[in-house]
């Protein structure tokens, strides 16, 4: 029997409380960079610098509080450079002021939005966030979970800083229940397929996840084994075609969306020689389910299980 990676673990039960509010009404938490973040009162003007954060903000009922959102320059497509068309429509982002962050965060535009809190993620310079706090007096929160449990923690501290702790607790409980359901489902799995999970490709290689990353945690929670599970370099560098040939994964899961489909990955090195390709075990799934560490990712684990364990749904194991 195959047990899920998080069997018996409750996101809700393992979350550590952050610092309690002081008598003055200030609220302090510890973010994913180990920084103490303090707001004088619940934040109600938010600059959101990642789709994963927007997912949390929206679920917390704070969409009306968003006064700025990450985007590319006009040539890159503006908000559509960072968000899918569905996200833009569902979250009503087309009218929100765009704040570019490549090659660096537009500090002037960020300050002009007059936020109570700026929320950044991996890819946003910590130095820029620190500058906003020390120079401009704007509290900044850095979210970069490396585990599924870490996603629950981030929802919790964001809820504390915005005065929506009850809503955050409800979301975390829903995530915990979803993981419990996944664990129960995987009890009947007979194999743990070895996979390559890749979200980007170019003619020289494939981008994937290594150990101590949310991507690796996601693969484990879906009852699979990553071919790069023990390769720390996979978090920083693309892997070659020769690497994949040597590992010979049972299946390849590719991220779709943002102009990519399954056939897009055929430009990668040695693609047509991979056993998973010749056997028809290339599986596409919207990349938001494994590139954006947020509650949607957790709820999407079931979709990965459907792909990786057809034997649980009347098919043959990979």
CA-CA-CA-CA torsion sign (288, 291, 296, 302): positive
Residue 263 CB contacts under 8 Å (≥ 6 apart), including other chains? none
Q: What is the DSSP string of 140-201?
A: EEEE--SSHHHHHHHHHHHHHHTT-HHHHHHHHHHHHHHHHHHHHHHTT-----EEEEESEE
pLDDT at 3 over 90: no
| Spatial distance between the Cα atoms of 310 and 305, rounded to a whole number of angstroms | 8
pTM, two decimal places = 0.87
Task: Summarize pLDDT for 223-251 with one digit per residue, the tens.
Answer: 999 999 999 999 999 999 999 999 999 99
| Spatial distance between the Cα atoms of 122 and 291, rounded to a whole number of angstroms | 12
pLDDT at 15 over 60: no
| pLDDT for res 21 | 42
pLDDT at 23 over 90: no
Q: How confident is the prediction for the chain on average, in pLDDT?
A: 91
Question: Thinking of the domain 194-312, which architecture would CATH place it in?
Answer: 3-Layer(aba) Sandwich (3.40)
pLDDT at 27 over 60: yes
CA nearest 100: which of 84, 82, 88?
A: 82
- The percent of residues in the chain predicted with pLDDT above 70, rounded, is 92
Secondary structure of residue 257 in the 3-state scheme: strand
Average pLDDT over residues 70-83: 91
The residue with greater pLDDT, 170 or 22, is: 170
Neighbouring C-beta atoms of residue 277, cutoff 10 Å: 17
pLDDT at 33 over 70: yes
The residue with greater pLDDT, 138 or 16, is: 138
| Spatial distance between the Cα atoms of 69 and 52, rounded to a whole number of angstroms | 12
| pLDDT for res 75 | 86
CATH fold for the domain made of 11-177: Rossmann fold (3.40.50)
pLDDT at 10 over 70: no
Cβ–Cβ under 8 Å, residues 106 and 100 = yes
Angle, CA of 56, 128 and 294, to the nearest 5°: 15
Task: Summarize pLDDT for 181-223 with one digit per residue, the tens.
Answer: 999 999 999 899 999 999 999 999 999 999 988 899 999 999 9
- What are the two backbone dihedrals, phi and then psi, of residue 295, each rounded to the nearest 5 degrees? -55, -35
Residue 202 CB contacts under 8 Å (≥ 6 apart), including other chains? 238, 267, 268
| pLDDT for res 89 | 95
Q: How confident is the model at residue 13 (pLDDT cuts 50, 70, 90)?
A: very low
List every span in the chain annotated with CATH 3.40.50.1980. Answer: 11-177, 194-312
39 membership: H or E segment, kind and range? strand 36-39
Average pLDDT over residues 308-317: 92
């Amino acid at each position: 029997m195959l047990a899920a990676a998080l069997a018996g673990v409750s996101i809700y039960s393992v979350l550590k409380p952050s610092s309690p509010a002081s008598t003055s009404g200030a609220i302090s938490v510890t973010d994913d960079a180990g920084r103490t973040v303090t707001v004088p009162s619940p934040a109600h003007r938010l600059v959101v610098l990642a789709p994963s954060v927007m997912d949390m903000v929206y679920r917390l009922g704070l969409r009306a509080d968003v006064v700025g959102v990450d985007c590319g320059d006009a040539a890159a497509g503006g908000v559509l450079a960072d968000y899918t068309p569905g996200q833009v429509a569902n979250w009503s982002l087309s009218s929100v002021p765009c704040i570019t962050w490549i090659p660096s965060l537009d500090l002037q535009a960020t300050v002009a939005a007059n936020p109570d809190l700026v929320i950044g993620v991996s890819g946003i310079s910590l130095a820029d966030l620190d500058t906003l706090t020390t120079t401009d007096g704007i509290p900044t929160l850095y979210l970069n979970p490396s585990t599924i449990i870490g996603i629950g923690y981030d929802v919790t501290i964001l809820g504390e800083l915005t005065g929506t702790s009850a809503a955050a607790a409800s979301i975390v409980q829903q995530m915990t229940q979803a993981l419990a359901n996944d664990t129960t489902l995987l009890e009947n799995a007979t194999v743990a397929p070895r996979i390559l999970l890749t979200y980007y490709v170019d003619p020289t290689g494939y981008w994937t996840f290594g150990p101590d990353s949310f991507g690796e945690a996601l693969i484990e929670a879906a009852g699979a084994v990553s071919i790069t599970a023990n390769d720390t370099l996979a978090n920083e560098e693309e892997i070659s075609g020769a690497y994949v040939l040597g590992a010979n994964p049972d299946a390849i899961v590719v991220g779709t969306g943002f102009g990519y489909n399954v056939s897009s990955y055929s430009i990668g090195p040695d693609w047509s020689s991979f056993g998973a390709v010749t056997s028809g075990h290339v599986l596409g799934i919207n990349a938001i389910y494994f590139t954006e560490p947020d509650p949607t990712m957790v709820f999407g684990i079931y979709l990965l299980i459907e792909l990786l364990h057809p034997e649980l749904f009347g098919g043959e194991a990979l």
